[in-house]
Structure 1
Amino acid sequence: MLKINEQAREALIGEVDGLTDEELNKKSADDQWSIKQVLEHLYLMEAAVTKTIQTQLETGEVVIAEEKPIELTINRTMKVNSPDFSLPSESFVTLEELKVNLAATHQDLKELFESTNDKQLEDRAYLHPVFGQMSLKQWIPFVGYHEMRHIEQIKEVKSKLGLK
């Protein structure tokens, strides 16, 4: 279940390692996110998903949701607006600070998954803005697919900035 998340995180870190803090914080255009903003969005989203799963496990009603094609998340031809809670700031942040935050949210999701049984995750759901009701079990690998989507975005930003 966490395999896609681990693969995505490894690829994500590989994509940004070696970039300077200035490169991370630079935008290719005023209306585009910097790499730093993409990374910030990722840990804000991961933290929110973890918190939502925890809340649904504690207080949510049993809802059986059909399995969704979450692997389609990687497809960047469909534009999706980020929820307000996951919008990044304009502030300058270092790669080390970003890595600390990414590691913390990744660990929190991993611990939540490891401390919860599959039945609990299958029997509760939460509304996704594109896929509709999605089981908590699918929300966990969704985080990995979402990250893979944004790895492609980072590659695009790097290309526009002339970075390798």
Structure 2
Amino acid sequence: MKDDLEVLSEELELALGGLDSSQTQLRPVGAQDKWTIQQIVGHLLRTYAATEKAMEARIVKGQPTKAKVSPMQWAAQCLVLRVGYFPSGRIAPEAVRAPVGEEAAPAGILLTQIELALSAMNKKLAAAETLFGSRHRAVNHMILGPLNFDQWSKFHLAHGRHHIKQIVAIRKQHGV
């Protein structure tokens, strides 16, 4: 059985496959304020790096978070992690917003970056899981609260699928 990050990688490959560097610069028709396909990927890459950094910080501290899940966080976790629903319209936190002004890159380069980032994040998740145990809610998500390692993978799958829908919609609008 494939894990969530393997599934995510495959789904991103399908969504991005075959795009050249001009096509990765496409954005929703008539929405110049929306992200391009490459910016969506850049945002995803930043979320993977942020998760990796959060895991490393906990590893360095040598202890999991002491935070408890609030009722609101529990409800949000159920929607995102169990149902797979990811709400639209939220503004990404500054630290993970899409980069601006990067050189246009074809899908092949973006997919290589995704593979490297997912692999690095997965290694850090595994290291933290080894240290704290698989079921322990070791690291906080800024909205969902403390998550265990399986939940972190489920979060990234739900978040990635949210953005894959956007990529697919852009491709459809532009006929690519």
Count of residues paired in the alignment: 161
State yes or no: 1:96 paired with 2:108: yes
Is 1:56–1:126's contact at 8 Å kept on the other side of the alignment?
Answer: no
In structure 1, stretches of 5+ residues that fail to align are none
1:110 aligns with 2:113: no
1:88-145 CA distances to partner (integer Å, 9 max, x unpaired)? 223233133322321221111121233332627614231422x2x2224222331122
- 1:5 matched residue in structure 2: 5
Q: 1:63 — aligned with what?
A: 66
Cα pair distance change 1:140/1:121, threshold 3 Å:
farther
Q: Report the secondary structure of 2:22's partner residue.
A: helix
Regions of 4+ moved over 3 Å: 64-67, 72-78
Matching residue's letter, 2:90 = V
The 5-angstrom pairing of residues 10-159 of structure 1 reads 10-28=10-28, 29-59=31-61, 62-63=65-66, 65-66=68-69, 68-69=77-78, 70-71=80-81, 74-75=84-85, 77-88=87-98, 89-94=100-105, 95-115=107-127, 116-117=129-130, 119=133, 122-129=136-143, 131=144, 133-137=145-149, 138-159=151-172
Displacement of 1:41 in angstroms is 0.7
State the AA in 2 paired with 1:92: E
Distance (Å, rounded) in 1 between the aligned partners of 2:138 and 2:37: 34
- Deviation readout 1:41-99 (Å, 9 max, x if unpaired): 11111111111111123225542644622336853553221111111223233133322
Q: Tell me, what secondary structure is at the counterpart of 2:66?
A: coil
In the superposition, the TM-score normalised over structure 2's length comes to 0.77
Alpha-carbon contact 2:65-2:146 (below 8 Å) kept: no
1:5 Cα deviation from its structure 2 partner? 1.5
**Counterpart residue type for residue 63 of structure 1:** K
